[in-house]
Amino acid sequence: MKVRKAISIILGLLVPIALGAGAVVALNQMKKPERDIPTVALKRGNVEMKVHTYGELRAVRSAMLVAPPVGGTLQIVRLAKTGSHVKANDVLIEFDPSEQEHILEQNRFELRQAEQEIAKGKADAIVQAAQDQVALLKARYEVRRAELEVSRNELVSSIDAKKNLLTLEETKRRLEQLEQDIQSRAVSNQASQKVLEEKRNKAQLLMQQAQKNIENMRVTTPIGGLVAVQPNRDIFGGPNFGLQMPEYREGDQVGPGRQIVQVHAVDEMEISAKVNESDRANFNAGQAVQVLVDAIPGKTFGGKTKTVAGMASRDMWSGDMLRRFDATFQVSQADPNIRPGVTAQVTITGEVIKDALYLPRQALFEKEGKPLVYVKNGGDFQAQEVKIKVRNESQVVVEGLNEGTVVALVNPDEAVKKTGSAGGPLTPGVSR
């Protein structure tokens, strides 16, 4: 009996305990679980406004060497190699001059022929002038004799007197005609001489041009630097988009005006880059920069900001809607290992904001174009609008919050949607 009574007492005690435990479990299931959202506290300190960007090295000065403007095609017989260092006035390209030499000989022959024709024309003109003078003296003599015969008309018959008058008129007419012919021949001889002189001048000019073309067959560089041979875009008979074109080489035929070699003056280099619109206010022209060239690891170069565009631009074809500013940075040190076209990282050291309240940029969000953060309030988060003073790539200085305020690094509402529940760890997001 005592045993049964003890068992009844124990069972009576276990039933309330079990009911209480079930109630606790039910209440815990009904309570909203606390969300595991990564957070960060608002800190106070100094914020250095550094701007980082990537760009491409290029020479400040460069020279493009082209094929000389001559008729027909040219054949390369000598060509400098890509990557070779050259000095000013070095011969980098040499073309076959045989065609121009042939043209020079033809023009020299035409020049000599024209000079001989001019000499012959002058000699003929001298002979003709002498003959004309003799004919003119003879005609004048005939006129004078006819005038003497007319003066004797009173002593001769009327018929002879009439004949004398007719003879005088005829001799005067022949003299007048001869004078006109002499004048016409003089003008004609002068015109013929002008034509021959123009023929000589033309031959002389063509000969000088051919001589100049022969000199242009040897192309020199106006500056010293690094050689970059250009791709031969005519190797397949015309432009071929999408194909990798080989460089020009000795033996290739090119047309006049084609770009063959570019020389980069590597003693003065600059970096062409783009800066995000949000970082534009953090630096200006003249500020110091540090440059890390990808092709030369472990070495830092100094420099300064050279130019910054006044207007932002957007690449329409890339699909990236972020607006960027074009900027150039001057590299202060010259290094023979630096090559145009390689990439470099640029760090712009801006001003230091002292005693500032700052957060990571991941904690900043936007809603309807206004910046806000999600402030932790107990086990929940509340959106609160803030005022941004300045920002860099990793930090943002804000107003409207107190030091130590805890904010979310991800959007709590979107975090719940992505995970499908309120539990589970989350990775900090990137601010929009």
Same domain, 197 and 126: yes
Q: Which two tokens stand for residue 318?
A: 């890339």
End-to-end CA distance of the chain: 77
On the question of pLDDT at 406 being above 50, the answer is yes
pLDDT for the residue numbered 26: 45
Q: Is the pLDDT of residue 260 over 90?
A: yes
Please give the Cα distance from 150 to 161 (Å, whole number): 7
- 189 lies in the same domain as 257: no
Residue 250 and residue 207 share a domain:
no
Q: How many domains does the chain have?
A: 4
Residues 331 and 373 in one domain: no
Q: Where are any strands of DSSP class E within 207-298?
A: 218-220, 225-229, 253-254, 259-264, 269-276, 288-293
* Whether the predicted pLDDT of 229 surpasses 80: yes
Q: Is residue 32 part of a domain?
A: no
User: Using CB atoms within 10 A of its CB, is residue 25 exposed (0-12), middle (13-18) or buried (19+)?
Assistant: exposed
Residue 17 lies in a domain: no
Final residue before a domain boundary, out of 315, 330, 353: 353
Measure Cα distances from 144 to 103, 147, 347 in Å. Answer: 61, 5, 109
In the prediction, which pLDDT does 384 show?
84
The residue type found at 301 is F
Tell me what pLDDT residue 427 has. Answer: 41
Q: Choose the weakest-confidence range: 236-240, 261-265, 281-285, 289-293.
A: 236-240
pLDDT tens for residues 100-124? 899 899 999 999 999 999 999 889 8
Q: How far is CA 395 from CA 47, 50, 219, 363, 404, in A?
A: 8, 10, 55, 9, 16
Residue 79 maps to which CATH number? 2.40.50.100
| pLDDT more than 90, % of the chain | 29
- Give the domain CATH number at 389: 2.40.420.20
251: CB partners within 8 A, 6+ apart: 75, 76, 77
More confident residue, 316 or 70: 70
Residue 430 has pLDDT above 80, yes or no: no
pLDDT band at residue 19 using 50, 70 and 90 as cut-offs: low
Work out the mean pLDDT of the chain and round it to a whole number.
82
Q: Do 193 and 272 sit in the same domain of this protein?
A: no
**Statement: residue 156 has pLDDT above 50:** yes
Full-model pTM: 0.60
What is the span of the domain harbouring residue 67?
62-96+217-264
For residue 432, is it within any domain?
Answer: no
Per-residue confidence (pLDDT) for residue 421, from 0 to 100 = 46
What is the reported pLDDT for 76?
94
- Residue that wins the pLDDT comparison between 191 and 241: 191
Check residues 64 and 432 and name the one with the higher pLDDT.
64
The pLDDT score that the predictor gives to residue 285 is: 84
One domain for residues 112 and 200 = yes
221 pLDDT exceeds 90? yes
User: Of 338, 274, 346, nearest to 311 (Cα)?
Assistant: 274
Q: Tell whether 7 is covered by a domain.
A: no
The secondary structure of 398-418 as a DSSP string is: EESS-TT-EEESS-HHHHHHH
From the list 283, 394, 281, 295, the residue with the least C-alpha distance to 345 is: 295
pLDDT tens, position by position, 51-104 = 888 899 999 999 999 999 887 789 999 999 998 999 999 999 999 999 889 989
> Given this model, what pLDDT does residue 25 score?
44
Q: Are residues 199 and 111 in the same domain?
A: yes
Indicate the pLDDT class of residue 318, thresholds 50, 70 and 90.
low
Domain boundary, last residue among 353, 375, 401: 353
Q: Do 203 and 114 fall within a single domain?
A: yes
> CA 381 to CA 361: how far, in whole Å?
18
Query: Helices H, strands E: what count in the chain?
Result: 4, 21
Q: Is residue 367 part of a domain?
A: yes
Report if residue 431 sits inside a domain: no
Asked whether residue 86 falls in the same domain as residue 228, the answer is yes
Residue where one domain finishes, among candidates 236, 264, 292: 264
> Does the pLDDT of residue 14 top 90, yes or no?
no
Number of Cβ within 10 Å of residue 24's Cβ equals 10
Q: Using an 8 Å Cβ cutoff, are 79 and 228 in contact?
A: no
Most confident of 80-84, 153-157, 367-371: 80-84
Same domain, 86 and 174: no
Q: What are the residues facing 55 on neighbouring strands?
A: 273, 344
- Residues 348 and 391 both lie in one domain: no
Q: Can you tell me the distance from the alpha carbon of 379 to that of 427, in angstroms, rounded to the nearest whole number?
A: 18
Query: Do residue 254 and residue 386 come from a single domain?
Result: no
Determine the 3-state secondary structure of 128 from DSSP. helix
pLDDT of residue 316: 59
Mean pLDDT of 311-319: 66
**How much is the pLDDT for 106?**
92
Residue 428 included in any domain = no
pLDDT at site 432: 37
